[in-house]
Structure 1
Amino acid sequence: MSILWIKALHVFFMIAWMAGIFYLPRLFVYHAQATNKEMHAQFVVMERRLWFFITPFAVLTLVFGVWTIYLYGGEWFKASGWMHVKLLLVSLFYAYHIYLYVLLKRFAAGENKHSSKFYRFLNEAPVLALLAIVVLAIVKPF
């Protein structure tokens, strides 16, 4: 498989993952505002389905990203300082993904401890990290 196909699949799965990872906390915003048991039950189902739908995209993003790095080689990797920063930010996204699962489980158990404002912040703040990742990958500033 051509490296361009591998990079294209990496970007595709990353976009699919990010779409879901930005929507899940938005569901948490609405779930935190839910006032009855039927709404709570519906949000629990929606959140669980979305998390399990996007998790394979996260895994495939990682697989195609590592494959791309492997194909470029160790010397390229050592010389690409921007990639090290990008990987640090990407690792934070994987931690964020896992944290969303923890929150999902708390909602499902009826143990939510946060307000809708918290979830709004949780939804919007990672956009800056994604911007930094895109800039690092395209501009390669160092």
Structure 2
Amino acid sequence: MDAPSDAFLWVKALHIIAVVCWFAALFYLPRLFVYHAMSDDALSHERFQVMERKLYRGIMWPAMLATLITAHFLVDWGDATQHYHEALWFYLKVGLVALLVIYHVFCGYYRKKLMLDAHYKSHKFWRYFNEMPTLILFAVVILVVVKPQF
């Protein structure tokens, strides 16, 4: 097998950085929702709105887009030698990433609902909601590293 090109390695590095940034935001935004739901004063409510908006628009969206764009190139370039499209683990991973994108969009929906009513849902709901990306991360990493043969 030939060594990967420099361009492939650069895109792979950018992909890993984008994934780390996206997950950091996916972990942190619902945690802000927990604290937002527990806040009682207008100043805290406004502060959480600003923090949530900046995180969602300024970090989450760019990181998600960078993750998906670099993933496309990695799959396109790597499929010739890795045969991703022949592996069930690959399709399971793509399905889990699709769930993350849906989760991401739900975060935006919930962010807007919290702007109108900080107590829209309880802090306990947000604590459970916060666990979803962790579970998906575990599954994706295992699929990518172990590449189980089903």
Q: Same fold (TM over 0.5)?
A: yes
Aligned mate of 1:58, from 52, 64, 68: 64
Q: Residues 40-119 of structure 1: matches in 2 within 5 Å?
A: 40-53=45-58, 54-73=60-79, 76-110=83-117, 112-119=119-126
**1:17 is the counterpart of 2:22:** yes
Query: Could you tell me how far apart the structure 2 residues matched to 1:37 and 1:52 are?
Result: 22
**1:129 is the counterpart of 2:136:** yes
Q: TM-score, with normalisation over the residues of structure 1?
A: 0.94
| Gaps in structure 2 of 5+ consecutive residues | 1-5
Q: CA RMSD in A?
A: 1.5
**1:139 is the counterpart of 2:141:** no
Q: TM-score, with normalisation over the residues of structure 2?
A: 0.89
Alignment identity in percent?
37
Query: Could you tell me how far apart the structure 1 residues matched to 2:119 and 2:39 are?
Result: 12
Residue number in structure 2 paired with 1:8? 13
Identify the range of structure 1 (79-88 vs 89-98) with the bigger mean alpha-carbon deviation. 79-88
Query: Could you tell me how far apart the structure 1 residues matched to 2:92 and 2:7 are?
Result: 26
**Residue-by-residue CA offset, 1:83-134 (whole Å, 9 max, x unaligned):** 1000000000000000000000011122652100000011123211110001
Query: Structure 2: which amino acid aligns with 1:58?
Result: M
* Superposed displacement of residue 19, structure 1: 0.3
Structure 1 stretches of at least 4 aligned residues deviating more than 6 Å after TM superposition: none
Instruction: Tell me the number of residue pairs that the alignment of Structure 1 and Structure 2 aligns.
Output: 142
